[in-house]
Amino acid sequence: MQTTFLGTRLSAAVIAALSSLTFSCAATSSGVSQQAHDIAQQTIIVDGHIDVPYRVHEKWVDVSEATEDGEFDYPRAVAGGLNAPFMSIYVPASLDNSPQSTQLAHQLIDSVEAIVARAPDKFAIAKSVADVKSQFAKGLISLPMGMENGSPLQGDMANLEAFYERGIRYITLAHSQSNHISDSSYDLRRQWKGLSPFGKTLVTEMNNIGILIDISHVSDDAFYQVIELTKTPVIASHSSLRTFTPGFERNMNDDMVKALGKNGGVIMINFGSGFVTKAARDWRDGLSKARNALIKKVGADSPELEGFEERYKEQNPYPYSTLDEVLDHVDHVVELVGVDHVGIGSDFDGVGDSLPIGLKDVSTFPNFVQGLLDRGYARKDIEKILSGNVLRVWSEVEAYAATH
């Protein structure tokens, strides 16, 4: 069974989900206009990074139905108008340089395929821009995949080809530690001073095969080396701006954003409060210092450490960022390089209890759209931010690979 809604064909599963939702101004959040809801429902929304696969790896839950925890499930995605969330195939840095990293990546891809197999009337794997667009027309939620941490490649281009065949369409070169590809922004050891020799070769091979290069997490030196080597635009799948979080290298500084703009790429704004405001970063630093001080006093095995973070939060409430502060990051990118180079990379299911007020799960994308409307963004520019920019980059990567 299919019907049309706002000009788009919807599957029976979507109709069922919509039947339990009311898209009036007061339905999901106050102050959200029908226009914002309409834009969210009528436009493809691509989120560059959602950590569902690792979430269900740690504690299985059926995201094709409503779930009690987490930030993503099918009903909430339908409510928010989310059509193409990149499923993060996240491999912890602790598994670097081990066969287990490759094994885990394949298992996480299996879990995405299982989500689709359980609910083919709701979800579909997307391996191309054409897939995303055709599945949107059918009322299906596309599940493209990106690999967070290139460790599973294990220095073998045959693994790159294997993961491409399985649907990986971007690779975040490193994660929290330097690996065999690249230095990490979080790792003080800069063993490669940017990219490794293999990493430099990998950039060319990713260009040629049609996998987007994701520069989130890498060191500044690695970023600039990627920009110099790549023949296609790159993405930052879930990064925000360092100007609002001074000293936090994980975010991009203004010069990097300008270089990304010249490259034709897109920075996809991370919603986590620690990525958005200095206050949230300072809170996390304070927590770490207080915990380390307690460990020094009582020892790492002391029972006093149990529930330490909860006690710290009670005494020092977490300074959640706000929707407006997230939008400040969008505005700043637009001021630096224009509206063609910014997108969404929420990090839902990946940043714990740190999401901003007004952006707590995937049902809240209309709030984001409303915020853009309130700031004077035209609909055509909102559509670029929601998906047009990253789909353009993905299309250019596909086109380059088709000729190489």
pLDDT digits (tens, 9 = 90+) for 41-63: 999 999 999 999 999 999 999 99
Read off the pLDDT of residues 330-370 as tens digits, 9 standing for 90 and up: 999 999 999 999 999 999 999 999 999 999 999 999 999 99
With bands split at pLDDT 50, 70 and 90, how would you rate the model's confidence at 323? very high
Give the model's pLDDT for residue 11: 52
- Check whether 256 has a pLDDT greater than 80: yes
Asked whether the beta carbons of 19 and 28 are under 8 A apart, the reply is no
Map tokens 């100007």 to a residue.
Answer: 243
Give the model's pLDDT for residue 182: 98
A 10 A CB-CB count for 195 gives 26
In the chain, count of helices (H) and strands (E)? Answer: 18, 12
- Check whether 171 has a pLDDT greater than 60: yes
- Check whether 25 has a pLDDT greater than 50: no
The CA-CA-CA angle for residues 383, 51, 211, to 5°, reads 65
With bands split at pLDDT 50, 70 and 90, how would you rate the model's confidence at 13? low
Tell me the two tokens of residue 153. 């490649």
Please state the pTM of the whole predicted model: 0.91
Q: What is the mean pLDDT of residues 295-322?
A: 94
Integer distance in angstroms from the first to the last C-alpha of the chain?
42
Asked whether the beta carbons of 63 and 121 are under 8 A apart, the reply is no
Region of 155 please: left (phi>0), alpha (psi -120 to 50) or beta: left
Q: What is the mean pLDDT of residues 241-261?
A: 98
- Rounded to whole angstroms, the Cα distance separating 148 from 92 reads 9
Q: 350: Cβ–Cβ under 8 A, 6 or more apart, which residues?
A: 49, 50, 51, 54, 88, 90, 238, 272
- Check whether 250 has a pLDDT greater than 50: yes
- List strand residue ranges (DSSP E) for 328-392, in order: 342-344
Superfamily of domain 30-276+330-402: Metal-dependent hydrolases (3.20.20.140)
Tell me the two tokens of residue 182. 């690249």
Give the model's pLDDT for residue 357: 97
Average pLDDT, the chain: 93
The DSSP result for 115-131, as a single string, is: HHHH-TTTEEE--SHHH
Domain locations along the chain = 30-276+330-402, 278-318
143's enclosing H/E stretch is strand 141-143
Give the model's pLDDT for residue 135: 98
